[in-house]
């Protein structure tokens, strides 16, 4: 797992800068920093998420009414709390910003949200386009829910991509998005559109598990490069599409009692191992040459995507609030977890289900997990194994946040920050690929 505030190593990418909007608890920001970018500005609306950024020494608060400072090397970047619509970013116009990153609020496009799309007042994509106009970054990284790709939203999503391609063609207050889209279509091929005012845009449907995150998390990541840089887009696409992890490899590592997975987890009870193997295909898929998907068990015992090991998080029968193992921040039990039809738990020997922004009771049972402890015959729902809620620290492991990251606020706010975040490991794959693409474009020799 990567460090929250890793400094660029000798021989890495040159000093590059970033601006982070909709920063949340800092998942994408950590990823961008770990890839060697120095943050110039944070913005976030949610109070507890802002507290998290400051408490973890990622940013320093800007007093109301003051202009954010330009951070020097080693100085904390400024955090402007509040509505991005009130944020003036024009002071960064001459700072040669390399990356604008952020995940605009996803509720308008989520299956779990109101799904009003562009008519939803929470749609903040227009603020990303305004930020581009004000600072002309070399690249943009945007993460959002896979709901953007639903057929009902497909026309609007294509409009978003065209807006990102021509962000300086600002939509008037009087025009509908359909009218503005027609204008953009007519100007896409206009040679008078200077390359420094247009972007080459690509989007990537991803499953975080394919990138080493111990979680099934389907998202769409949009990346854009300023056209005048002549970035090798094909090379960039190849670098982020070439995933290293797969379900096939996980199955193959498990099908035999002496498989690599069980060697790594030699203390798993035999009844658990046998139960897992009994539900696998009798004839395992052909080897695809990839690494096994990481599982929830991998995350909890500290097996990281980069091969490093973290301390194991103790089980400690965490089904009560008063169970607080010493030495583990935010590792606190929570009572009354339930399982029922449509609300099924995570299993230790699979990647976790998608972390969602809810303290408990979120649709699908995403915050509940089975344990290795056998249940009695009278256990709820006839389940084979006892279950409980996941702790905040366990959920942070699933989102690949470092253990030293401490979210602010009560449990509900902490889980909300995690559910809304970008897994650090996933974000870092794309941030490093962007840095490499910029390096090659600026130093073609």
Percent of the chain with pLDDT over 70: 88
User: How deeply is 171 buried, as exposed, middle or buried, from its count of CB atoms within 10 A (0-12, 13-18, 19+)?
Assistant: middle
* Residue 304 falls in the annotated catalytic set: no
User: How deeply is 173 buried, as exposed, middle or buried, from its count of CB atoms within 10 A (0-12, 13-18, 19+)?
Assistant: exposed
The pLDDT of 333-359, averaged and rounded, is 88
Give 16's pLDDT tier (boundaries 50, 70, 90): very high
CA pair distance 405, 25, nearest whole angstrom = 9
User: How many C-beta neighbours within 10 Å does residue 139 have?
Assistant: 27
Given this model, what pLDDT does residue 121 score? 65
Does the structure show a pLDDT above 80 at 407?
yes
Does the structure show a pLDDT above 90 at 9?
no
Query: What token pair was written down for 363?
Result: 């649709």
Query: From residue 143, how far is each of 101, 105, 208, 270 by CA, in Å?
Result: 8, 10, 12, 41
Given this model, what pLDDT does residue 1 score? 38
Higher pLDDT, 4 or 362: 362
Given this model, what pLDDT does residue 49 score? 97
HSE-CB at 49 with a 13 A cutoff on CA atoms is: 25
Task: Return the CATH number of the domain spanning residue range 16-244+421-442.
Answer: 3.40.50.150
Give 109's pLDDT tier (boundaries 50, 70, 90): low
Given this model, what pLDDT does residue 431 score? 98
CA pair distance 69, 62, nearest whole angstrom = 8
User: Which of 24-28, 228-232, 339-343 shows the lowest per-residue confidence on average (mean pLDDT)?
Assistant: 339-343
User: Which of 272-276, 376-380, 437-441 shows the lowest per-residue confidence on average (mean pLDDT)?
Assistant: 376-380
Strand 139-145 relative to strand 218-226, pairing: antiparallel
Given this model, what pLDDT does residue 154 score? 86
Give 7's pLDDT tier (boundaries 50, 70, 90): very low
Give 165's pLDDT tier (boundaries 50, 70, 90): very high
CA pair distance 400, 367, nearest whole angstrom = 16
Query: What token pair was written down for 155?
Result: 């026309």
How does pLDDT run across 238-283, given as a tens digit for each residue? 999 999 999 999 999 999 999 999 999 999 999 999 999 999 998 9
Secondary structure class of 41 (helix, strand, coil): strand
Residue ranges of the chain assigned to CATH 3.40.50.150: 16-244+421-442
User: How many C-beta neighbours within 10 Å does residue 163 have?
Assistant: 23
Query: What token pair was written down for 404?
Result: 């030293």
The pLDDT of 107-123, averaged and rounded, is 56
User: What's CA 90's distance to the chain center, in Å?
Assistant: 27
Give 329's pLDDT tier (boundaries 50, 70, 90): confident
Does the structure show a pLDDT above 80 at 321?
no
CA-closest candidate to residue 31, choices 432, 392, 414: 432
How does pLDDT run across 170-219, given as a tens digit for each residue? 999 898 888 999 999 999 888 777 899 999 999 999 999 999 999 999 99
Dihedral in degrees, nearest 10, Cα atoms 387, 391, 394, 399: 110
Does the structure show a pLDDT above 60 at 35?
yes
Distance spanning both ends of the chain, measured CA to CA: 33
Does the structure show a pLDDT above 80 at 326?
no
DSSP character string of 286-339: PP-S-EEPP-HHHHHHTB-TTS-B-PPPP-TT--STT---TT-TT---------
CA pair distance 21, 49, nearest whole angstrom = 12
The pLDDT of 149-153, averaged and rounded, is 86
Given this model, what pLDDT does residue 362 score? 62
Given this model, what pLDDT does residue 281 score? 92
Length of the chain: 445
Helix axes 47-55, 411-420, angle to 10 degrees: 90
CA pair distance 17, 96, nearest whole angstrom = 8
CA-closest candidate to residue 164, choices 210, 214, 225, 221: 225
Does the structure show a pLDDT above 80 at 117?
no
The conformation of residue 343, written as its DSSP 8-state character, comes to: B
The pLDDT of 45-65, averaged and rounded, is 95
Given this model, what pLDDT does residue 6 score? 39
Give 114's pLDDT tier (boundaries 50, 70, 90): very low
pTM: 0.91
Structural contact between residues 388 and 369, judged by C-beta atoms closer than 8 angstroms: yes
Structural contact between residues 18 and 37, judged by C-beta atoms closer than 8 angstroms: yes
Give 112's pLDDT tier (boundaries 50, 70, 90): low
Residue 387's H or E segment, with its range, is: strand 385-389
Given this model, what pLDDT does residue 19 score? 98
Query: What token pair was written down for 409?
Result: 């606020």
Strand 291-292 relative to strand 245-246, pairing: parallel
Structural contact between residues 66 and 44, judged by C-beta atoms closer than 8 angstroms: no
CA pair distance 236, 434, nearest whole angstrom = 7
Instruction: Spell out the residues 6+ positions from residue 403 whose beta carbon is closer than 8 angstroms to its own.
Output: 310, 311, 329, 393, 396, 397
Residue 20's H or E segment, with its range, is: strand 16-21
Does the structure show a pLDDT above 80 at 108?
no
Instruction: Spell out the residues 6+ positions from residue 29 whose beta carbon is closer than 8 angstroms to its own.
Output: 18, 20, 23, 39, 42, 53, 58, 101
Does the structure show a pLDDT above 60 at 24?
yes
The pLDDT of 55-59, averaged and rounded, is 95
Given this model, what pLDDT does residue 319 score? 66
Residue 333 dihedral angles phi and psi, to the nearest 5°: -65, 160
The pLDDT of 300-320, averaged and rounded, is 82
CA pair distance 218, 222, nearest whole angstrom = 13
Please tell me which of 53-62, 115-124, 380-389 the model is most confident about, judged by mean pLDDT.
53-62
């Amino acid at each position: 797992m990567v460090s929250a505030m890793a400094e660029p190593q000798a021989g890495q990418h040159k000093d590059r800068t970033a601006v982070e909007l909709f920063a949340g608890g800092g998942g994408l920001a950590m990823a961008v920093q770990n890839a060697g970018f120095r943050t110039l500005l944070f913005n976030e609306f949610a109070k507890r998420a802002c507290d998290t950024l400051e408490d973890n020494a990622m940013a320093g608060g800007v007093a109301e009414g003051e202009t954010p400072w330009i951070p020097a090397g080693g100085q904390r970047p400024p955090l402007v709390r509040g509505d991005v619509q009130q944020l003036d970013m024009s002071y960064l116009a001459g700072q040669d910003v390399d990356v604008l990153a952020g995940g605009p609020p996803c509720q308008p496009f989520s299956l779990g949200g109101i799904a009003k799309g562009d008519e939803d007042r929470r749609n903040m994509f227009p603020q990303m386009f305004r930020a581009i106009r004000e600072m002309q970054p070399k690249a943009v990284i945007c993460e959002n829910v896979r709901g953007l790709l639903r057929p009902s939203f497909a026309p609007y999503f294509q409009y978003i991509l065209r807006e990102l391609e021509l962000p300086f063609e600002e939509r008037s207050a009087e025009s509908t998005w359909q009218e503005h889209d027609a204008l953009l279509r007519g100007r896409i091929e206009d040679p008078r559109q200077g390359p420094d005012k247009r972007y080459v845009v690509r989007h990537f449907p991803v499953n975080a598990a394919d990138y080493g995150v111990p979680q099934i998390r389907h998202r769409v990541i949009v990346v854009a490069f300023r056209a005048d840089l002549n970035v090798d887009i094909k090379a960039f696409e190849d670098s982020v599409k070439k995933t290293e992890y797969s379900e096939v490899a996980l199955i193959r590592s498990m099908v035999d009692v002496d498989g690599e997975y069980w060697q790594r987890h030699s203390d798993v009870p035999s009844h658990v191992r046998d139960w897992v193997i009994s539900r696998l295909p009798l004839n395992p898929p052909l080897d695809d040459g990839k690494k096994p998907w990481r599982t929830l068990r991998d995350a909890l015992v500290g097996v990281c995507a980069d091969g490093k090991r973290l301390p194991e998080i103790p089980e400690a029968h965490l089904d009560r609030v008063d169970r607080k193992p010493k030495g583990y921040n935010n590792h606190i039990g929570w009572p009354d977890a339930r399982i029922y039809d449509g609300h099924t738990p995570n299993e230790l020997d699979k990647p976790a289900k998608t972390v969602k922004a809810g303290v408990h009771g979120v649709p699908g049972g995403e915050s509940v997990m089975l344990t290795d402890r056998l249940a009695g015959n009278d256990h709820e729902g006839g389940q084979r194994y006892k279950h409980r809620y996941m702790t905040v620290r366990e959920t942070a492991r699933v989102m690949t946040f470092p253990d030293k990251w401490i979210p602010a606020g009560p449990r509900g706010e902490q889980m909300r920050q995690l559910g809304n975040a970008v897994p650090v490991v996933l974000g870092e794959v794309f941030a490093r690929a962007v840095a490499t693409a910029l390096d090659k474009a600026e130093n073609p020799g």
